[in-house]
Structure 1
């Protein structure tokens, strides 16, 4: 962030530094007014102000089109509205409803925060893609062609189909809420005219016994004293990385031999049965670290759970000759082991905590040996 006296010549000469995505240049003459310079070359006048006890931002317009004097005039008018208790972002445009930025920051995000655990992801995707493209425009102005251009722009920048579809889902849900709430100026959902992109997100990576052996040797040599147990527990339980890193001793039921996960991706409490190997690992940790009565895998440097084990994991997987292996692939391997051992997809679904059987079906990778056994049941035709 840089502070300087803005002039037309200064604004038009601004270029975002190569090591940044955004660069904010504040005006010394008008408090709160700044130019948001993006690496892509886009520039926008924005206003930072306080309303209802929070810092808020208002996009005034494209700095390549709007003059500096026009930006200062609009900023001055916006602050007048703030002084009388109005939020300038929520002002309705003639016949076009609230601006995209006003609706999604004033209505959508506060609403989804009440129930959606991934609302921060929504906020990030909206800020990076939707607000930078449509922020100052009215909700009622957009049509299917506008949304199609957004999709095309994201494809050009190399975003994955899954990311683009997530943006479309958030934008479409916002319009459905606006229609449900009867927001003035909104009469249609332009996202419904756009087809989602085809996603090929099938997970193909899973470990065989030889690869597991190499991986376990490698993680046991790691400088991170907990990495080997974390990796082993992931393989024993098929749990998600975040669930294992935040596991607590109080959630281990030794009597019934299961692990209670209080905070899952689906937002429901889940109980994971513990195998003999998992119970042995936990018992050994209790003996080795008797003073750790809170988190199971405590970071010795902080006394709290690991935020990440990425760097030690990256080193270990390279040493094992598995440079592209993700921690989530251990969950996939767990499911594949069960399927190859003859367990049903329903059992795998319950153990992984999937609400939808279609999600579990991606993990049904049968080994070539089991496939050969399957075809051998066909009788000889000679």
Structure 2
């Protein structure tokens, strides 16, 4: 049988094997099938790969490199260096049946169908499924695009066709900028001590949630050995959270954190505020206090000024207020009687 059942990482998976003598040559091939497919789908895929392999080695057809081949090569070669490796692999496995057999040189029409399916609220069998936001869809396609580019780089593909992929645009230029009043109301509504501390620290440091949970407190400030941009950095401790920095140690899981945060923001009357918005609030406070964008980017840990430019409209708003004051009569201080 070309399809056999194996156990990988505690999960049942199917593996396709091909072993035949074709024109006096022994041909051996094996491939792990995408996770989540049924036995019937595995048999159909196995027969298809059998036919393609036989045709290839008899000179009937040219080899087709699939997106699944590209993803497998990328995971094998590069996953050890990915910071988000586990998350990325789980996402690729989840959507693997949608791209495993797709020709990596025919991406335009496939990407349109794939995006439509990710946005849909039902699966191929009419069962309800959770539609993905355009931002989440972009992440999935970014993982796939990176795999195809890697396959081209190592010579598996003659041409990089990723420019033909249709990827939904996402406008992340403007954000919600919570002010101190909103931050304090959410913090006061929070019943979890560690999350309550993290809310204040995020607003007074601009650190991300993950950075807050793993930062080490030193004499110089919050020390981050590993950040999103790959560079270590020190974030000074604001006097208003100095006591929290010394006393609070974070032990909760990300799931516990998210649950406590959502309860707090809902109780405070801000159901749409995200924890990451507190980082934007910190940037807004610094800019409104007259800090230049370069320095703000340094505090936030931006590797490129492009990331900091998303706050440029705040500078423009502040300059417009300054220009509006031109010509206004200055109020002279009154002498005390």
Give the TM-score normalised by the residue count of structure 2: 0.72
CA distance in 2, matches of 1:271, 1:153: 43
Q: Deviations over 1:275-297 (max 9, x none)?
A: 222323334x1xxxxxxxxxx52
Equivalent position of 1:27 in the other structure = none
Number of matched pairs: 292
Deviation at 1:372, TM superposition (A): 5.8
- Preserved contact between residue 245 and residue 306 of structure 1 (Cα < 8 Å): no
Equivalent position of 1:115 in the other structure = 81
Q: Deviations over 1:173-216 (max 9, x none)?
A: 32222222222xx3223322235432112342222233233223
Q: Tell me, yes or no, if structure 1 residue 273 matches structure 2 residue 240.
A: no
Q: 1:31 to 1:166 in 2, by over 3 A?
A: closer
Aligned equivalent of 2:112, options 148, 154, 168: 148
Equivalent position of 2:147 in the other structure = 174
Q: Tell me, yes or no, if structure 1 residue 96 matches structure 2 residue 63.
A: yes
- Which structure has more RCO (C-alpha within 8 Å, separation ≥ 6)? 2
Q: 1:173 to 1:369 in 2, by over 3 A?
A: closer
Q: Deviations over 1:236-261 (max 9, x none)?
A: 211111111123xxx3222xx32210
- Structure 2: which 5+ runs fail to align? 7-12, 18-30, 122-130, 329-337
- Preserved contact between residue 104 and residue 161 of structure 2 (Cα < 8 Å): no
- Preserved contact between residue 96 and residue 139 of structure 1 (Cα < 8 Å): no
Deviation at 1:269, TM superposition (A): 0.9
- Structure 1: which 5+ runs fail to align? 1-29, 34-45, 51-55, 79-87, 286-295, 300-304
- Preserved contact between residue 143 and residue 190 of structure 1 (Cα < 8 Å): yes
Q: 1:214 to 1:369 in 2, by over 3 A?
A: farther
CA distance in 2, matches of 1:216, 1:166: 31
Equivalent position of 2:302 in the other structure = 354
Q: Deviations over 1:81-113 (max 9, x none)?
A: xxxxxxx9xx999423444323312x1112221
Instruction: Indicate the RMSD between aligned Cα atoms, in angstroms.
Output: 3.9
Q: 1:298 to 1:173 in 2, by over 3 A?
A: closer
Greater shift in the superposed pair: 365-374 or 201-210: 365-374
CA distance in 1, matches of 2:217, 2:180: 28
Q: 1:374 to 1:309 in 2, by over 3 A?
A: same
Deviation at 1:137, TM superposition (A): 4.1
CA distance in 2, matches of 1:217, 1:368: 33
Q: Tell me, yes or no, if structure 1 residue 162 matches structure 2 residue 135.
A: yes
Q: Which has the larger helix fraction?
A: 2
